[in-house]
Amino acid sequence: MSKGQKKNIVGAKNKRAKRKIGQLSTPPLHVESIDAANNEPALNVETANSFTVLRKKQASAAEHRALGCVATVDDWTQLSDEELLDVRMCDLQLKIESTPLEGMIQKLYRELAANNFRLKPHCWLSDEWFAPDGIPGIAIPFYLAHPRLIRLERQQMLDVEGGTKAWCMKILRHEAGHAMDTAFGLHRRKRYREVFGRYSDPYPEFYRPKPRSKNFVQHLEPWYAQSHPAEDFAETFAVWLTPGKRWRKDYAGWKARKKLEYVDELMREIAGTPPKLKSRRKIDPVSRMKKTLRAHYLDRHQRYNINYTTSFDDDLARLFLPADSGAPKRASTYLQRHRNEICETISNWTGEYRYNINQVLREMIDRCRILNLRVQNADEQLRQDTLVMVTVHTMNYLYRGNHQVAL
C-alpha cells in the first residue's frame, strides 16, 4: 500500500503493504486533495459498506454482462458508479502526463537531483503502489490519474491511499528508497544487513508493531518501518530525503538516528555515481489490464476483508447511535472534526505520542464509516465519553501487545 510492496520481474505479487481497510493511514482528505478540480479542497465522502453493496449488485451485474451490455468507454467519466465498474481498466486509457501526478513526480526528481543522484525512477500506472524487484521504477495506482476514479476508489474502499499531495509525496519518497536500493544493490552490503537486517527475509502475513519503539523512524503508518528490513530502509531513506526534515533533531536520543546517519553516509557515497541497474521495464501497466473495475474491487474487498470487526466495535456502538436511528450527523465526521483536540488532550494527560493516539483514532473513524454510526447531539458529555473511550483503547492497543497489522 502500497509503499514498499514489490513485484518480481515475472509480475507475481509479494504481500507487502497489504493492510485491512480499517488500518489504512488516513490523512485529512480536505488537505491538498489531488482529486479536486483546480487543486481546490475536496470533501471527505462518507459511504455505506461498499462490500455489502457490491454483493447485492453482483447478480444483476452478471445478468447485465450476460446480455452483452458492455459499458461504453467513449466518455466513461459521465458513467454512474455502477456503469463504471463494468469498464475494463485498459479501456480507461489513462496517463500520468497533464495530471497532478506529473508535477509530484517532477518534485521527487528535483529532490533527488538536489542530492546529486543520477537516478530518476521511471513511473507508470498500475493497480496499486509498488516497486518491482530488479527494476528501479515506481508503479502508481491508476485511480490517482483522474478525479472520477479517485471518487470511485473512495466509494469502494472508504479511503484513497495517496489521495492528498502530502500523502502522495510521502509514498513516492518511500518507493524511491526501494528504487535506490535496487539500482545500486545497497541491500547486498554487509553494513546494510547489520543496520537494517536481511533484505531476503520473507515478508510475514502480519507484523506486530511496537508503537513506543525508538528503533524505527515514523513516516508511513502504521509504524510501517517495523514490517520488514526492506521497508525499514525505504522509510529511513524517505525521512532522510524529505526537504526541511530536521531528522538529527527529531530523532535525537533514538536508535533510529543511527540508521539515518548510516543512510546519510551511504547516500553521500553513491551521489554522482551512475546506477548499476537501469532497466526501464514496466510491470503490470494498467494499459494491459483487461479485468473490469468491478473485478478489481471485488478482489480488493475480499483481500482486505472489509467486514472485519475490531476490539472497540462494541464501545463505538454504545457511544454512538445505529444507522437506522435517524440521527442527522455521522459519528465518523464527529471524530474527524475533533481529532486534533482528542489527540492533544490525551497526549497531554498520558504523555503518549500523538502519533500513536492518532493511529487508534483513525481506525475508529474507519469503523464508524463502515458501521454508519450516527450522532444526535454533540454535547459535552459525548466529548468526555469519547476522550475516555479513546484513552482506554489507546492504552490497550499499546500495552496488551495483541494488535497486529496485515501486510
Residues 348 and 203 grouped into a single domain: no
Please tell me whether residues 29 and 138 are part of one structural domain. Answer: yes
9 falls within a domain: no
For residue 67, being part of any structural domain is answered with: yes
Same domain, 257 and 322: no
Q: Which residue has the cell 475536496?
A: 42
Please check whether residues 260 and 135 belong to one and the same domain.
yes
Residues 29 and 95 reside in one and the same domain: yes
Residues 189 and 50 in one domain: yes
Q: Are residues 344 and 262 in the same domain?
A: no
> Can you give the residue range of the structural domain that contains 347?
310-406
The reply to whether 253 and 402 lie within a common domain is no
**Does residue 301 form part of some domain?**
no
DSSP structure string for 243-305: TT--HHHHTTT-THHHHHHHHHHHHHHHTTSPPS------SS-GGG--SBHHHHHHHHHHHHT
Final residue before a domain boundary, out of 270, 297, 322: 270
Number of domains in the chain: 2
Core vs surface per residue 173-204: b (16+ CB within 10 A) or e? bbbbbbbbbbbbebbeeeebeebbeebeeebe
Of 214, 239, 270, which residue constitutes the final position of a domain?
270
* Same structural domain, 248 and 198: yes
Closest CA to 15 of 227, 208, 172: 227
Residue 157 lies in a domain: yes
CA dist., res. 9 & res. 14, Å (int): 11
Does residue 334 form part of some domain? Answer: yes
Judge if 69 and 215 occupy the same domain.
yes
Residue-level pLDDT, tens digit, the chain, 407 residues: 334 444 443 333 343 333 222 333 333 333 345 554 333 333 333 333 333 334 444 444 444 444 444 444 558 999 999 999 999 999 999 999 999 999 999 999 999 999 999 999 999 999 999 999 999 999 999 999 999 999 999 888 777 899 999 999 999 999 999 999 999 999 999 999 999 999 999 887 777 778 788 999 999 877 889 999 999 999 999 999 999 889 999 999 999 999 999 999 999 999 999 999 999 999 999 999 999 999 999 888 777 654 455 678 889 999 999 999 989 899 999 998 898 899 889 888 887 777 678 878 888 888 898 889 999 888 899 999 999 999 888 887 666 554 555 55
- What values do phi and psi take at 194, rounded to 5? -70, -35
236 located within any domain: yes
Shared domain check, 60 and 136: yes
> Which is nearest to 297 in space by CA: 27, 33, 57?
57
* pTM given for the model: 0.72
Residue 126, domain member (yes or no): yes
**Of 270, 298, 332, which residue sits at a domain end?**
270
- Whether 160 is in a domain gets the answer yes
* Shared-domain flag, residues 115 and 192: yes
